[in-house]
A and B are shown apart, each in its own frame.
Chain A
Amino acid sequence: MSADLEPTIGLEVHMHLATRTKLFCGCKVQYDVRPNSNVCPVCLGMPGVLPVMNREAVELSVRMALALGCTIPDFAKWDRKHYYYPDLPKNYQISEYDQPLGVGGHLDIETSKGTRCIGITRAHLEEDAGKLMHAEAGNYSIVDLNRTGTPLLEIVSEPDVHTAEEARAYGEALRQLAVYLGVGHCHLQLGQMRFEPNVSLRIGTGPDGKPRYTPISEMKNLNSFRSVERAVAYEIARHREEYLANPAKYTLENLGKETRGWRDDEGTSFLMRSKEEAHDYRYLPEPDLVPFVPDRKWVEELRAGVPELPEKRRRRFIADYGLSEYDAGVLTAERETADYFEELVAGLVGAHSEERQVADYFGELVEAVARLRTSGDWRATRGLKACGDWLSQHVRRTLNELKISTKEFRNRLPASKLSDLVIISEEGVVNRNTAVEIFDKMVTTGKSAADIVSEENLSQVGDSGAIEAFVDQALAANAKAVEDYRGGKKASFGRLMGEAMKASGGKANPALVKDILQKKLGG
């Protein structure tokens, strides 16, 4: 029996869907409102109420399942999962037990050891419970049911994860995908995404030729990527220790599956329920809801509507736009940023379309860029790099300063306006520093770059006659510096250069100033 003790980890991930209303009633999905103010008889599970399926929640779930490569079965049904807890007003949760809406898929994740493919077992929709809070003083608890009935998509992975790093990367990739698709907002601090890793170690192979394992630890309700990584690492080490101390006893067949909690402050896990204390959920097909029988045409429409996924888009940005790995990663981390970048490129190459979404015309865009590249046009080379730089530098700075999202920024400054600025900057109509000033004015006033340039008379002076006059002016007024320079003090060149620029009001093309100054100084 070889004891390689390879960690075998599957994850159950719960995410709140970005629906307007709850899963089975008309209450809005909202956070940070007064406790128990966002409730109605249906989500309170009052006598006589009935659930009504939220179609938007089903649509978002199917979209996510499709993006994960899942099959959407012809029939999915709702079930009641029973357990008694005060945060669950009906004492059962409506979920999908044995016939979920999505089965069999996969997700590629990036790790320090390269790309890994994690299998997806299933995706199903269910309702969230409320929140129970225990009073600090006194022997009572209070419950807030605002969250009750919030649509929750549960995604269950195959036990394909083998390290704590992978567990974290998997969680992050799911989050990125859900946000990209608009399926969930996934704000971890709001509890919109929660993780339950199932950790076990493989203990070689048994006499029957089948793999053997240490008991499975189901870690409950981790709510940050950091806690996922730490809890999994801790649990792997704990299993290894327990197994090595008692290899005959510490096995899955002896101890089964146990439920464990995680103390984030201490960095330790603790036993919540052993196999013997496991709930019998007494599943019952939900008689108040009709089964979900998806229309195939509708599923195909949703499939067609699944946007290009982040990883694929990152690789395409490298291939089509010649961006570096790093730049492509930054620009595709969020869908809004990636869309804005491509809109910017579209403006640059003259392929912009106000009416259409980037996803609908990026093919044409890529072709236009390729044509320009063949003809050696600057727009297909340094122009693309410049677009990326504008986004990662000045746009990002503005987002931070104004505390707004890329989406809000896009409303203030559409990519078509920013691309005009990129063009006049790259073509030397204004110099770089002036371009940044214009950018800031565009953000605050909403005016076009051209208007700001003409109103403030900012266009760069590239006329050599005019520049010669500025240079002459500088030379005449700084005879001492001229003398120093000619006497060998080369540093004086910078001083004279600055004086000539000042004389032009900062508008002179610096390269031309330099040329002319050098000629006049005789070298």
Chain B
Amino acid sequence: MAITDLTATEMRDALRRREISAAEATDASLAAIERLDGQVKAFLAVDAAGARRRAAEIDKRLAAGETVGMLAGIPVAIKDNMCIRNGLATTCASRILGNWKAPYDAHVVERLMAEGAVIVGKTNLDEFAMGSSTENSAFGATRNPWNLDCVPGGSSGGSAAAVAARMTPIALGSDTGGSIRQPAALCGVVGMKPTYGRVSRYGLVAFASSLDQIGPFARTVADAALLLQATAGEDKRDSTCVSVKDQPVPDYLASLEEPVKPLRIGLPKQFFGKGLDGEVEKVVRSALAVYERLGAQLVEVDLPHSTEYSIATYYIVATSEASSNLARYDGVHYGYRSTDHADMIDMYMRSRAQGFGDEVKRRIMLGNYALSSGYYDAYYKKALKVRRLIRGDFEKAFRKVDCIMGPTSPTAAFRQGEKTADPLAMYLSDVYTVSCNLAGIAGISLPCGFTAAGLPVGLQVLSDVFTEDRLLRIARMYERQVDWAARRPPVCEGAA
């Protein structure tokens, strides 16, 4: 078995038993990137030298019998909207940041370093995490390892593709409206958005602050649990991150194999309506049948404000916050500055006009409009009210059921370029995922089969705030019954 076929938990065990070294694990990861990334284009930057140095250091500590962290020697990829102080630029896949190098580590990066992880590089994304296909990158699109003509989903398409193509066993992404779960579904991997406040956002370049959350990509539920374990918890630098006194971080791996019984699964009719691809629905229903066989009870629930209003609400809240968060990119203090300006105002305008891509500009304009005096009440304030109604829908549903299931995305991976000319069609890729962010609850996408064309389909499972432990157990119940994780995407075949 090739090292790159090992899951993170298997790799951890092999490392501890000294069957493989951190250097070997890192070299295997770097070799896979070298071999495959010319086609997949998952990475924006690879730090081979830094990763090797780090691996050598971990090997030394392992040899000395020192206690090492839970991710010791495991290669990890990071979405390029998280700050690392190691000399790699943080780009957010935008020209506007120029070659900006963060002078500090994000909280999750500190956590990964403390747990001994080997960060191999930074992955591609839609510019500032705005998009659903990783085509809105200033540095070129990432491709889906299952079909290179298709998109990997987005915005964390680089991390999803890196894990799907086994370049790293695990990766971090960020999810504002589905940016972890949707690419996970389209790339056939596990992707989780934790509860808002479970993982610190310090050092995550903000898109929409009240929605953004960092989460894991992995090939298995156990690996997702491991990476969540390493990153979850309190951080005084993020006021919206909960204290462990209020919400202790459970041992996710310890309880993982315990099935949830009895298990009541809520099926919102809104998640199975118009726009859902027939083949995707069939695959998802067969996964639900697996749960039924395991004794779960399927219950219809109503989320009257989700889907119908969630996209509209999301695009007002997210763009309003984005227009504010992205105001700082002006060419004055860092990043890209136009060279052909006439005066200060012209410098602002040209730097931003030349530095941002079309989708980012579109959202900044939407957000600025929604926040303008005279429009605030009609748009932003009303969106906040609907947001509370959506949260209320979920609260009500979770009184009846343990989780809610449905498709992660209405379609499997679509073709490169298919939706780039129609922003609204692109926005609808997130129709099932955005309400989870608006409600602040936890969600996961699991591989649950393939279309006839061989493209992965994702099952989305949503659960109430701070019930990640139960959510992971529910996901694991299904995973034990299937072997989708063993399938290798075509791009990897013959290479191992």
Contact = CB atoms under 8 A, between A and B. Distances in A.
A47 B205 contact: yes
A280 B239 contact: no
Interface string A420-454: 00000000000000000000000000000000000
Interface string A156-176: 000000000000000000000
Interface in A72-121: 80, 82, 84, 86, 89-92
Contacts of B239: 50-53, 288-290
Given A86-B344, A91-B328, A284-B324, A47 B371 contact: no
Identify the interface centre among A41, A53, A282, A288: most chain B CB within 10 Å of its CB. A282
A48 B327 contact: no
Contacts of A51: 239
A50 B202 contact: yes
Contacts of A287: 208-210, 240, 321
B307 to A, nearest CB: 24
A138 B203 CA distance: 37
A281 B92 CA distance: 27
A446 to B, nearest CB: 44
Interface stretch (B101-109, B113-121, B457-465, B475-483): B101-109
A47 B328 CA distance: 8
Interface string A19-62: 00000000000000000000001001111111111000000000
Given A47-B102, A50-B237, A287-B210, A89 B373 contact: no
B324 A80 contact: yes
Contact of B238 (A50, A86, A143): A50
B146 interface: no
A44 B333 contact: yes
A288 B100 CA distance: 23
Given A52-B236, A282-B373, A288-B240, A84 B321 contact: no
A49 B372 contact: no
A280 B372 contact: yes
For the complex, would chain A's binding face be called helix, strand, loop or mixed by DSSP majority? loop
A84 B240 CA distance: 27
B17 to A, nearest CB: 38
A41 B324 CA distance: 18
B107 to A, nearest CB: 10
Interface in B8-44: none
Contact of B204 (A44, A48, A52, A92): A48
Contacts of B368: 282
Nearest to A53: B239
B371 A48 contact: no
B332 interface: yes
Contacts of A86: 332-333, 344
A284 B82 contact: no
A40 to B, nearest CB: 9
For the complex, would chain B's binding face be called helix, strand, loop or mixed by DSSP majority? loop
Interface in B337-377: 344-345, 348, 368, 371-373, 376
Contacts of B90: 47-48
A91 B331 CA distance: 12
B83 A48 contact: yes
Contacts of B206: 47-48, 288
Contacts of B210: 287
Interface in B221-248: 236-240
A234 interface: no
B368 to A, nearest CB: 6
A283 interface: yes
Interface residues of B, number: 44
Contact of B106 (A48, A141, A282): A48
Interface in A124-142: 141
A52 B102 contact: no
Given A282-B372, A284-B380, A289-B239, A48 B102 contact: yes
A405 B330 CA distance: 45
Identify the interface centre among A47, A90, A280, A281: most chain B CB within 10 Å of its CB. A47
A286 to B, nearest CB: 8
A46 B372 contact: no
Given A41-B104, A288-B240, A290-B240, A48 B324 contact: no
Contact of A41 (B103, B208, B323, B327): B103
Given A49-B202, A52-B239, A288-B209, A283 B327 contact: no
Contacts of A141: 344
A114 to B, nearest CB: 42
Contacts of B380: 284
Interface string A238-273: 000000000000000000000000000000000000
Contact of A284 (B321, B330, B333, B345): B321
A52 B237 contact: yes
B327 A89 contact: no
A90 B328 contact: yes
Contacts of B82: 48
Q: Name the 8 nearest CB pairs between A and B, nearest first.
A: A91-B327, A287-B209, A282-B371, A287-B210, A47-B205, A48-B203, A48-B205, A90-B328
9 contacts: A46-B103, A46-B334, A48-B90, A48-B202, A49-B202, A50-B202, A91-B327, A91-B330, A288-B206
Given A48-B206, A84-B330, A86-B332, 15 more contacts: A45-B328, A46-B104, A47-B83, A48-B203, A50-B239, A53-B239, A90-B328, A92-B324, A283-B371, A283-B376, A284-B321, A284-B324, A288-B206, A288-B240, A289-B239
